[in-house]
């Protein structure tokens, strides 16, 4: 580790990916205009924009402000071709809830990775609501054929912790007869619930249940999208493991369903402070100050997992350089993300000299003093590429990442921003 790699100064990370997707979806099916400021114009969110444009919605981008002319719940039109969701699991799963309630048929498809990701988890509850949704190749994956149907509300207990599935059910619930209730064991990210409320839907929460009463029209509005904590995570991790670092990341969303990385790093001994805490469009936001810290191992399991699921590859990097043992479990979902993240994180970190063993649902990691250069396989997974870019800072030899373009999925300016923090 070299002192001259220290991260210093202030940075603003791009808008939250989950909230940006939802702004386009809810804005499109609302009445009136929605203006989303601080929108994340990354490949994934552009996939959502493309799908709604293909269904007749006028969506304009100007810098990172996106203006959506809502067509109302029933105003979408049948797309001329299949809807293409690219690499975006969020688009694919959540949009299927909206498509299930339309008067027209659609085929939903995405890239090679999307065509391998499990879709039964949305097909099953939507079918229970009366939807006609099938996997074209009968393998439980996209392409999906969705025939417009009349839906009825259900009372659904979630089998996997998935905000995408919960959101698909709630959005289908807007088109259903009767109430829709979704109950989770642990509340996954709740941006859909918060935004639906902001757009005027009749929705309430009761413990870990969300109840949607259909019948209310959604009204377009102005939204300011907070910075994405999942993008801030890379700089938080990089600053923590690099001696001399002291950074502030401005205006980051710290919704309690997403802040697991902060809670975990604090429990590992991190010097992290939240400043200027405030609320924006129902979402909690703060500036995050992070200073280099000596971290110690921890156990990450159970109810915190959904609140840091996307950050686990980065946490594994930091844990590899911590003192003692870190155990991560209950995270089998990592195997069905954009890649099998348990496999790629273990393989990559091992090749860099880390002491890491994969398990069925996580990792066992014993901290080491330093990491070495290695060739890293990403399978075009953005979070793998960014996590290993952070690992590279703590490495004493060159790290060659086989694909860096994939960072555009969630964070187009990632390498520029990392350089900026390292040049102060
Ligand atoms: C997301 C939910 C999570 C997360 C994904 C974004 C969302 O996926 O991993 O990056 O915006 O709803 P799951 O719903 O599969 O847990």
Name all domains of the chain by residue range, CATH numbers in brackets: 8-15+226-422 (3.65.10.10), 17-224 (3.65.10.10)
- The binding-site residues of ligand 1, defined as CB within 6 angstroms of any ligand atom, are 18, 90, 162-164, 167, 188-189, 309-310, 333
Residue 174 pLDDT > 50, yes or no? Answer: yes
- N-terminal to C-terminal alpha carbon distance within the chain: 17
Extended strands (E) in 130-270 = 132-135, 144-147, 151-152, 155-157, 176-177, 180-183, 202-206, 209-213, 222-224, 246-253
Residue 312 pLDDT > 60, yes or no? Answer: yes
Q: Closest Cα to atom 9, ligand 1: which residue? A: 310
Q: Sorting pLDDT into bands at 50, 70 and 90, what band is 2?
A: very low
Average pLDDT of the residues in 134-144? 98
Q: Sorting pLDDT into bands at 50, 70 and 90, what band is 100?
A: very high
Residue 381 pLDDT > 80, yes or no? Answer: yes
Q: Sorting pLDDT into bands at 50, 70 and 90, what band is 204?
A: very high
Is residue 91 exposed (0-12), middle (13-18) or buried (19+ Cβ within 10 Å)? buried
Q: What is the structure's pLDDT at 229?
A: 98
Active site residue 310: yes
Is residue 236 exposed (0-12), middle (13-18) or buried (19+ Cβ within 10 Å)? buried
- Cα distance between residue 20 and residue 33, in whole Å: 15
Candidate list 310, 375, 403, 417, residue with the active-site label: 310
Ligand 1 center to 163 CA (angstroms): 6
- Cα distance between residue 11 and residue 152, in whole Å: 46
Q: What is the structure's pLDDT at 281?
A: 81
Q: What is the H or E stretch that residue 35 is in?
A: strand 31-37
Residue 238 pLDDT > 50, yes or no? Answer: yes
Query: In this structure, how many other beta carbons lie within 10 angstroms of the beta carbon of residue 347?
Result: 17
Average pLDDT of the residues in 21-50? 98
Asked whether the bond before 143 is cis by omega within 30 degrees of 0, the reply is yes
The SS3 assignment for 129 reads: coil
Residue 321 pLDDT > 80, yes or no? Answer: yes
Q: What is the structure's pLDDT at 412?
A: 98
Query: Percent of the chain having pLDDT more than 70?
Result: 99
Q: Sorting pLDDT into bands at 50, 70 and 90, what band is 5?
A: confident
> Can you tell me which atom of ligand 1 is nearest the CA of 18?
11
Pairing of strands 325-328, 299-300: parallel
> Can you tell me which atom of ligand 1 is nearest the CA of 161?
16
- Cα distance between residue 359 and residue 271, in whole Å: 29
Pocket test for ligand 1, best of 164, 310, 410 (most atoms within 8 A of CB): 164
Sequence length of the chain is 424
- Cα distance between residue 410 and residue 341, in whole Å: 16
Residue 424 pLDDT > 80, yes or no? Answer: no
Q: What is the structure's pLDDT at 4?
A: 58
Residue 236 pLDDT > 80, yes or no? Answer: yes
- Cα distance between residue 308 and residue 100, in whole Å: 30
Residue 393 pLDDT > 90, yes or no? Answer: yes
Average pLDDT of the residues in 352-356? 98
Q: What is the CA radius of gyration of the chain?
A: 21
Residue 373 · residue 348 · CB < 8 Å: no
Residue 414 pLDDT > 80, yes or no? Answer: yes
Residue 305 · residue 161 · CB < 8 Å: yes
Q: Sorting pLDDT into bands at 50, 70 and 90, what band is 304?
A: very high
> Can you tell me which atom of ligand 1 is nearest the CA of 93?
14
Q: What is the structure's pLDDT at 399?
A: 98
Q: Is the pTM of this model over 0.75?
A: yes
Of the candidate ranges 51-60, 252-261, 277-286, 404-413, the one whose mean pLDDT is the lowest: 277-286
Ligand 1 center to 396 CA (angstroms): 34
Ligand 1 center to 323 CA (angstroms): 30
CA pseudo-torsion sign 200, 201, 202, 207: negative
Residue 67 · residue 30 · CB < 8 Å: no
CA–centroid distance for 37 within its chain: 18
Ligand 1 center to 169 CA (angstroms): 14
- Cα distance between residue 294 and residue 71, in whole Å: 53
> Can you tell me which atom of ligand 1 is nearest the CA of 336?
15
């Amino acid at each position: 580790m070299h002192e001259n790699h220290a991260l210093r100064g202030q940075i603003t990370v791009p808008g939250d990916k989950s909230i940006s997707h939802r702004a386009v979806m809810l804005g499109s099916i609302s009445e009136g205009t929605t203006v989303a400021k601080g929108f994340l114009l990354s490949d994934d969110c552009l996939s959502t924009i493309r799908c709604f444009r293909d269904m007749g919605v006028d969506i304009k981008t100007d810098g990172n402000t996106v203006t959506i002319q809502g067509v109302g719940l029933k105003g979408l039109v049948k797309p001329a071709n299949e809807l293409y969701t690219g690499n975006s699991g969020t688009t694919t799963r959540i949009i299927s809830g909206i498509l299930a309630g339309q008067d027209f048929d659609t085929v939903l498809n995405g890239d090679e990775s999307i065509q391998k990701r499990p879709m039964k988890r949305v097909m099953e509850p939507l079918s229970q609501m009366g939807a006609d949704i099938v996997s074209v190749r009968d393998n439980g994956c996209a392409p999906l054929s969705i025939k417009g149907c009349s839906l009825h509300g259900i009372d659904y207990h979630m089998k996997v912790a998935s905000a995408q599935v919960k959101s698909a059910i709630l959005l289908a619930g807007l088109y259903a007869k009767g109430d829709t209730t979704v109950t989770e064991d642990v509340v996954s990210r709740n941006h859909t619930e918060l935004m639906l409320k902001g757009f005027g839907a009749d929705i309430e929460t009761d413990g870990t249940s969300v109840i949607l009463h259909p019948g209310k029209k959604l009204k377009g509005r102005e939204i300011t999208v907070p910075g994405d904590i999942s993008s801030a995570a890379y700089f938080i991790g990089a600053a923590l493991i690099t001696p001399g670092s002291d950074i502030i990341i401005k205006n980051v969303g710290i919704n309690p369903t997403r802040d697991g990385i902060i809670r975990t790093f604090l429990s590992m001994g991190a010097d992290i402070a939240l400043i200027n805490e405030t609320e924006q469009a129902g979402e909690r936001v703060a500036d995050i100050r992070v200073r280099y810290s000596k971290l110690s191992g921890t156990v990450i399991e159970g109810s915190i997992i959904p609140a840091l699921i996307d950050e686990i590859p980065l946490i594994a990097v930091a844990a590899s350089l911590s003192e003692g043992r870190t155990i991560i479990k209950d995270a089998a979902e990592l195997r069905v993300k954009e890649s099998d993240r348990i496999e790629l994180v273990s393989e990559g970190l091992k090749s860099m000299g880390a002491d890491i063993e994969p398990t069925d649902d996580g990792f066992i990691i014993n901290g080491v003093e330093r990491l070495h250069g290695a060739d890293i396989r990403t399978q075009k997974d953005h979070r793998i590429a960014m996590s290993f870019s952070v690992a590279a800072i703590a490495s004493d030899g060159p790290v060659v990442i086989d694909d860096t373009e994939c960072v555009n999925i969630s964070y187009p300016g990632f390498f520029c921003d990392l350089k900026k923090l390292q040049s102060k």
